[in-house]
Structure 1
């Protein structure tokens, strides 16, 4: 069994419902109840203009990383995300594996820990909320240090509930 940190994001359509649907999907894959952060509203990164709703969930799974990410991509496509979308474009739902236990994987189609998360307060802040003593599996850097080093970004905790 592995503990998996998953970042969720949506900036198209009913963003809250997309996150709720994703949490329900992840709950089905998890062998233990999910730990869920608050939902945050954040400025988009890249060319997209609509704010994102972002959150982090922690799940426990028996699935290996490659089948798990395949499940994620299938779910994204079933919920209206095109497989051919440009990087940083608007999306109904985005599910990223931030970490999978202590594994470090670098293949053509799967990189764990996620290569961009260290620059993303919309991942680090909710992650710190659910696992305040988390450390990067690759560098050992604490979530507190990673958060303090990340570029500034407009990030606001919402009152939205799961």
Structure 2
């Protein structure tokens, strides 16, 4: 690691079996293991949780989050995560939110806000997704959303207690 690596919160999800790895929970665990040491150092990792599907998919998801330190800038990390998804069988054609072997999303980073045509950090949807805020709050409860100023623990609490969640 360099002297000033970036810190990222990455969300992982799967709802499709991988022929060589196994069920979605195994795919998520495999992906987390694969990222550690290849794209940076994983310094915290949540348990893998099951969640209801989003969008047209009817298969339940396995979800987790990890905190990693990486020398990669956000666009380079996104490109590397997309490459990892492809390697694990992700296909990006067809219907949005369809079944997938793996989904790897940058949710937050230590640099605050990032906006480019291909990448927005914080992830635009994370505040409305308990399957992201739950695992994230379990490993980084005090990490603050640079848009709302709320911690991950506060965001998750608001989301799961029915209170309005900032957009």
**TM interval, short-chain normalised:** 0.7 to 0.9
Q: 1:138 is paired with a residue of what secondary structure?
A: coil
1:97 corresponds in structure 2 to 106
Q: 2:41 is paired with a residue of what secondary structure?
A: coil
TM-score, normalisation: structure 2: 0.84
2:165 corresponds in structure 1 to none
Q: Distance in 2 between matches of 1:86 and 1:101?
A: 32
2:59 corresponds in structure 1 to 50
Q: How does 1:1-162 map to 2 (within 5 A)?
A: 1-13=5-17, 14-150=23-159
Q: 2:36 is paired with a residue of what secondary structure?
A: helix
TM-score, normalisation: structure 1: 0.87
The answer to whether the Cα contact below 8 Å between 2:46 and 2:136 also exists between their aligned partners in 1 is yes
Following superposition, the deviation at residue 143 of structure 1 comes to 1.8
- Please list every run of 5 or more consecutive structure 2 residues that lacks an aligned counterpart in the other structure: 18-22, 162-167
Q: Distance in 2 between matches of 1:87 and 1:3?
A: 28
> Where do 4+ consecutive residues of structure 1 move more than 6 Å?
none
Q: Distance in 2 between matches of 1:75 and 1:33?
A: 15
Higher relative CO (Cα under 8 Å, sequence separation at least 6) belongs to 1
Q: 1:80 is paired with a residue of what secondary structure?
A: coil
Query: How many residue pairs end up in the alignment?
Result: 152
Q: 1:25 is paired with a residue of what secondary structure?
A: helix
Following superposition, the deviation at residue 88 of structure 1 comes to 1.3
The answer to whether the Cα contact below 8 Å between 1:119 and 1:151 also exists between their aligned partners in 2 is no
Quickly say closer, same or farther: Cα 1:143–1:76, change in 2 above 3 A.
same
Quickly say closer, same or farther: Cα 1:30–1:76, change in 2 above 3 A.
closer
Q: Distance in 1 between matches of 2:13 and 2:42?
A: 20
- Give the alignment's Cα RMSD to 1 decimal: 1.6
